[in-house]
Structure 1
Amino acid sequence: MQIRMCLGTVALILASAVSVTPASSQNTRDALADGVMSICADPYIYPSSSQGYPPGYDIEILEAIARTGGYRSDQFWVNSGTIGGLGRALRNSIAGGYCDVFIGVAVDDRQIDELAEKDLVFTLPYMALAFVPVVQGSAADAKSFEDLKGIKIGVSRTTPMDGYLLMHGFDREIYMRNDLVMEGMVRGEVDAAMLWSPSLGLAHRD
C-alpha cells in the first residue's frame, strides 16, 4: 500500500516550541538559588526529550543555558500524554515546585489563562515544527486542507494538531502516538493523517 506525501498542497500547521517558567522573575531567582536548574520534561517525546541517549534537543538547549549561567542541571520526568494532558502534567511538576522550567511545549493561546492560574508563563518561541499531512486512498487527490473534510484523519492525541482538527470540525481517528498513526494508515484504518514531522524521520531510521 503506497502512502505519499501531499507537501505544498495541503496547509501545514506549525507548532512553535517554547518553555514554561514561573511568571515572577523573583520566583525564578529563588528557584535557582541552590545553583541547580531543574528541568521538567516528557521522556516520551524524542527527539525533543528522552531518558535515553541522546537526551533530545530541548534537554541539550536547556543544559547549555544552565552551564552558561553557571548552574548545574537535572531532570524531573513527567508524562504529558496521559488523560489530563499538559494541564495535569504542569500541575504535577512545575506548578508543584518540582522544577524551574517545563520544556517542549507548543504555543497555544488557549492555555495562557490556565498558565496564569498556576503563576506560569510561556517563554519566547525558539523553534518551529510542522505537522505534516500524509494521504493515500480516498484522500490521495486532496489539494487543500478543506479537501480532507469528511475524511477521517489520524492524529496523535492531546497534540496541538488534535486540538486544531477538533476546533475546525474535522473527523478524527485518535491514536496514542505518531508511530501508531502510521501503523493505522498501513492497515487502512485511515486514508489521511497529520504527523509530527520528526516522527517521520524516526520511522525512516527504524
Structure 2
Amino acid sequence: MNKMKFSASYALMLVFALCLSHAYASDAPKTGTMPELVACLSDDNAPFSSSNGGGIDAEMSRRLGEFLHRPVRISWIAIPERGGLGRALRMAMKPGNCDLFFGIPVNGTANEDVLEQHLETSEPYLSTGYVLVAAKGSNVRTLDDAQRAQRVGVVTATPADMYLHKQRFNRIPYGNNRDLLDALSEGAVNAAVLWLPALASAEQRGFELWPNAIRDEHLPSPELETRFVIAMRSGEADLKANLNVALAHLRSDGSLDSILRRHGIARTHVQ
C-alpha cells in the first residue's frame, strides 16, 4: 500500500516537473529551429525606414523577431513612381519573397492597395499625423488662431491641405516639406500644419526648431491621422495572431516608446 502511494506521488511529481520544464522551455529563446522571417521595408521613407539609417520599422522588425524567436532578414524595397505601394506589394508579397511588409498607412478603416492584393494586416502599431507649428515671433497659439492668420503653410495635395481648404484657412501650398520648413524659418507664413514624421526626419538631418515652435501636437480631426500596420499574405492565421501578441508586448513593456523617442515621434504610439 505504501509502495503504491509512493509510486502515485512520484508520478504526480514527474508530471508536474515535466509541465514546469515545458513552461520554461516555451519562454526561452529558440535558436536554429525557427524559420527566417523576411521583413520588407521601404528603402527611402525616413523616419520609418531608410536603407542608409534603419528607422522605426527596422528596429521594430528586429524586436518582433526577438519576441517571436525567429531570425529576421530585412529586404529593402524601392517604391516605384509608377504603381506606387500597390505595385511594390504585388511584387514583394509573392510566395518566397516577403513574409511581412512594414509601414502600410491606413486612413479610415483600410488600405486600398492591401485590399486589392488580398493581404492580411496586423493591428496598428503606430498612429501619427500633423502638428501645428508657429513661425518665429508668430502669435499663433492654437488652430483657431491659425484659422484667423493671414498665411498658413501646408504641403499641397495632402490630407492637411484638403482639411485647411474645407475649413477655409488662408492656406499657402508648398510643393514639399523642405520648402514648407524653409518658409516657416524665414517667416513667409505665420504657421504651418506639418506632417510630424517629416519634421522628425528633418530634425534628424540637422534642422533645428526654434523654442515653442510646436503649438499643437494633436490636431482634432480623424482626417489628419494615419495609422500604420504590417501586411502579410492571407491564410497565415498563426503568424498574424503571434504578431499581434508581440506588438501588444512591445507596447506594454515600453520597447515601442523607446524606439519612437529615438526617432522623434514618441507621442504617436497606439494605445
TM-score, normalised via structure 2 length? 0.48
In structure 1, C-alpha distance between the alignment counterparts of 2:145 and 2:85, rounded to whole Å: 28
| Cα deviation digits, residues 45-94 of structure 1 (max 9, x gap) | 222211123x11211111222243323312132237x4655334434533
* Alpha carbons 1:78, 1:89 under 8 Å: kept: yes
Superposition pairs for residues 148-187 of structure 1, below 5 Å? 148=147, 151-155=151-155, 162-166=158-162, 169-170=165-166, 171=171, 173-176=173-176, 178-187=177-186
In structure 1, C-alpha distance between the alignment counterparts of 2:40 and 2:146, rounded to whole Å: 39
Distance apart, 1:191 and its partner CA: 3.8
Aligned position for 1:94: 93
In structure 2, C-alpha distance between the alignment counterparts of 1:122 and 1:64, rounded to whole Å: 18
Aligned position for 1:6: none
Distance apart, 1:101 and its partner CA: 1.8
TM-align CA RMSD: 3.7
| Cα deviation digits, residues 124-162 of structure 1 (max 9, x gap) | 11223342111338x7436325843885532276xxxx2
Matched length? 166
Superposition pairs for residues 111-150 of structure 1, below 5 Å? 111-136=110-135, 140-141=139-140, 143-144=142-143, 147-148=146-147
TM-aligned CA distance change 1:135 to 1:87, over 3 Å? farther
| Cα deviation digits, residues 92-144 of structure 1 (max 9, x gap) | 5336974222212333236444422211233111223342111338x743632
In structure 2, C-alpha distance between the alignment counterparts of 1:86 and 1:167, rounded to whole Å: 24
In structure 2, C-alpha distance between the alignment counterparts of 1:69 and 1:163, rounded to whole Å: 39
In structure 2, C-alpha distance between the alignment counterparts of 1:70 and 1:102, rounded to whole Å: 16
**Counterpart check, 1:38 vs 2:38:** yes
Superposition pairs for residues 19-98 of structure 1, below 5 Å? 35-53=35-53, 55-67=54-66, 68-79=68-79, 82=81, 85-94=84-93, 98=97
TM-aligned CA distance change 1:164 to 1:200, over 3 Å? closer
TM-aligned CA distance change 1:167 to 1:182, over 3 Å? closer
* Alpha carbons 2:61, 2:72 under 8 Å: kept: no
Question: Whose Rg is larger?
Answer: 2
More strand by share: 1
Distance apart, 1:182 and its partner CA: 0.7
**Counterpart check, 1:108 vs 2:110:** no
TM-aligned CA distance change 1:83 to 1:146, over 3 Å? farther
In structure 2, C-alpha distance between the alignment counterparts of 1:182 and 1:109, rounded to whole Å: 28
TM-score, normalised via structure 1 length? 0.59
* Alpha carbons 2:128, 2:196 under 8 Å: kept: yes
In structure 1, C-alpha distance between the alignment counterparts of 2:197 and 2:78, rounded to whole Å: 21
* Alpha carbons 1:36, 1:71 under 8 Å: kept: yes
In structure 1, C-alpha distance between the alignment counterparts of 2:124 and 2:156, rounded to whole Å: 22
